[in-house]
Structure 1
Amino acid sequence: MKEADPGKRRGIGHSTNLVGRSSEWLASCAFNDAPAPLHIWGVREMNPSLFAMLDQARDMAEAGDAFFCYMTAMFALDPEQRDPSRGGKRRYQSSFLRLIQGWNFDSNTPEGAVLKGWVESRFGLGPSFHKEIIEQVSSPAWAAYVEEKMSSRFHNNAIWVQLDLLFEFCQWAAARFSFPGQTHLTLYRGVNAFDDHWIVERPDRREAVIRLNNLVSFSSDREVAGCFGDKILTARVPVAKLVFFDGLLPSHVLRSEREYLAIGGDYRVSVEYV
């Protein structure tokens, strides 16, 4: 796909969201150049005991354990807290862990659709890709995405509220322990068929502005990123856009290959050929 004509391809989004920032601005390079803090309305206010407990943590490991214990108690995430009231066959409650594990396996799974749907709901940015390019709400691609993001097997346990808490914990942890004082991280993403992506600007062969999906994976390790494509994109990712990063949770809970999940939109990237 050649350079996008801004007048013809604007993306799918909402004029309202739950972070009090313009969705159009959130998706722009202007936000990435000079990011502002992002907080989902009411999450910290409705969970004061969590953040009081986190404030007592001495390091990231203690904070991660405290967060996981809170989520386990609130949403019955461990096997011992399966719902016994149903009788007969018991089932596990839906959890943010399952969604991230599904995303790590393939971002185009139903788990990936639920995560993209959460970004759409909270930040007002619709996905540009789920199994195929999504350009308009009247397309079969959009209908297939909506069907998967609303799958009942993932919405039986306030799953979007779980993701709200994950985002707020991620932002708290980034500021307190992991990236204090930092506004950006240099991260990498491996891609194939670069010209098939939504290229907003291409001033030269090694620089571009590219529209990434509303939720996108990066790696902090260039070599790991190189395993996923013959071209490596290097981007300055705002810490304010992080949803998840390697080391956020206890290592026995969830393993990721130095993966970072971030809110997408337009990113200035350098393009290196492996």
Structure 2
Amino acid sequence: MDKTAKPPPHQVGHSTNLVGIPTALLASAAYNAHPIPLRIAGVREMNKSFFTMLEDSPTLADAADALHKYMAAMFDLEPEQHEKAKRNDGVRRFRSSYLRLFKGWGYDNNSPEGAVLKGWVESRFGLFPTYHKEPILKVGSPSWAGYIAEKMSSRFHNNSIYVQLDIMYAFCQWALERFVAPGAAHLTLWRGVNDYDEHQLVERLGKRRAVIRMNNLISFSSERDIACCFGDNILEAQVPVTKVVFFSRLLPVHPLKGEDEFLVIGGDYEVDVSYF
């Protein structure tokens, strides 16, 4: 582990968020050890018919089909399967969708799509990103300005994209509780890294254990052998189920399928560090 790592900044996020608990608590290792439920304000209330419909789904595949149909109807996403839609004048224009963001993340989590996803986490959960193409050490820095420019670009930040992601997160949490990890508080997940540019050392707990500040949205794998493909240093974490935004089995077709990937809200995680 890098012994020269810089201490993390004190400010972890906004003073307010949309999940009803202090941002500093949500970002802490204490929350990860003892998680409490998270709900983005208003999502279930504004989409009551969808969650009522989900209760009639006997399998995860049926629930995913219900999600696809609901999102297509709500956000006019059916043409989005071809990533373009036509205006009345016949000119093609891009309509952003949650699926397109996950596709972009799968290619590069520092892409403009990745910036929008990190911006959604910042907006809803209050956590600042700590890395986008380069470390973001403070608000107002050049690296922060670059992140802001990409997250607000109209190419991907349109079509109520944050609302789409709100529904996606609520659906993911419902699916975890109903089909994948009923009653579980944590999942054991792994992340492979070659360096610690994207991770800030908060506290050493031992030779192979530490508290590390993760980016506000981070990828893990449910398989250690797969995590090894992404780096020689393997971080093992107990991730709260409440912090899972997306996972590989959630939808039948998506770009993250082959990596058993979990997209997880970041913060300070106690991790065990081992080597491939």
Which TM-score tier does this pair reach, normalised by the shorter chain?
A: over 0.9
Partner of 1:168: 170
Kindly tell me: are residues 141 and 49 of structure 1, through their superposed partners in 2, closer, same or farther at Cα, counting changes over 3 Å?
same
Answer whether contact 1:79 1:92 (CA < 8 A) is retained: no
Counterpart AA for 2:60? M
| Structure 1 pair 227–89 and aligned structure 2 pair: CA distance change class (3 A) | same
- 1:88 is displaced (CA, Å) by 2.3
Q: In the alignment, what sits opposite 1:124?
A: 126
User: How far apart in 1 are the matches of 2:56 and 2:72?
Assistant: 19
Query: Identical aligned pairs, as a percentage?
Result: 59
Give the Cα–Cα distance (whole angstroms) in 2 for the partners of residues 132 and 3 of structure 1: 15
Task: Out of 198-207 and 25-34, give the one that drifted further.
Answer: 198-207
- Give the aligned partner of residue 70 of structure 2: 70
Q: Among 106, 110, 113, which residue is 2:112 paired with? A: 110
1:250 — aligned with what? Answer: 252
Contact 1:194 1:231 in 2 (8 A): no
Corresponding position of 1:140 = 142
Q: CA deviation at 1:201?
A: 1.1
In the other structure, the counterpart of 2:157 is 155
- After TM superposition, the structure 1 stretch with the greater mean CA deviation from structure 2, 222-231 or 90-99, is 90-99
Matching residue within 177, 180, 193 for 2:179:
177
Find the partner of 1:213 among 209, 212, 215: 215
In structure 1, distance between residues paired with 2:181 and 2:198: 34
Deviates more, 1:28-37 or 1:81-90: 81-90
Aligned residue number for residue 230 of structure 1: 232
Residue 53 of structure 1: aligned partner:
53
- Provide the alpha-carbon RMSD of the alignment: 1.9
Shift of 1:197: 3.0
How far has the Cα of 1:78 moved from its partner? 1.8
- 2:243 aligned residue: 241
**For each residue in 1:9-50, what CA deviation from the matched residue of structure 2 results, as whole angstroms up to 9, or x when unmatched?**
214410000000110000000100000000000000000111
For 1:60, give the aligned amino acid: L
CA distance in 2, matches of 1:196, 1:15: 23
Q: Distance in 1 between matches of 2:42 and 2:205?
A: 42
Hey, which bits of structure 1, 4+ residues long, moved more than 6 A? none
8 A contact 2:200–2:214 mirrored in 1: yes
Give me the whole-angstrom Cα distance separating, in 2, the residues matched to 1:24 and 1:161: 24
Query: Gaps spanning 5+ residues in structure 2: where?
Result: none
For residues 195 and 68 of structure 1, do their structure 2 counterparts lie closer, same or farther at Cα, with a shift above 3 Å needed?
closer
For 1:10, the equivalent position in structure 2 comes to: 10
**Any idea what SS the aligned residue of 2:35 has?**
coil
1-side partners of 2:105 and 2:119: how far apart? 13
In structure 2, the residue matched to 1:19 is 19
CA distances 1:62-121 after superposition (whole Å, capped 9, x unpaired): 111111111111111122896544312223411000101111111100000000000000
Q: Which amino acid aligns with 1:129?
A: Y
Of 148-157 and 192-201, more deviation after overlay is shown by 192-201
SS in 1 for 2:155: helix
What CA distance in whole angstroms lies between the structure 2 residues aligned with 1:40 and 1:83?
29
Asked if the contact 2:190/2:221 (under 8 Å) is kept, the reply is yes
The 3 A distance-change label for structure 1 pair 80 and 157 is closer
Say whether the 8 Å CA contact 1:104–1:256 is kept in structure 2.
no
CA offset at residue 5 of structure 1? 4.3
- Quote the Cα distance in structure 2 between the aligned partners of 1:113 and 1:106: 10
| Alpha-carbon separation, structure 1, partners of 2:25 and 2:164 | 26
Q: Give me the whole-angstrom Cα distance separating, in 1, the residues matched to 2:121 and 2:254.
A: 26
Amino acid at match of 1:50: F
SS in 2 for 1:38: coil
Report the residue type matching 2:166 in the other structure: D
Separation of aligned partners in 2, 1:218 and 1:84: 37
Go from structure 1 to structure 2 and tell me whether the alpha carbon gap of 1:157 and 1:235 turns closer, same or farther (over 3 Å shift): same
Matched position secondary structure for 1:208: strand
- 1:11–1:135 contact (8 Å) kept in structure 2: no
213-222 or 187-196, which deviates more: 187-196
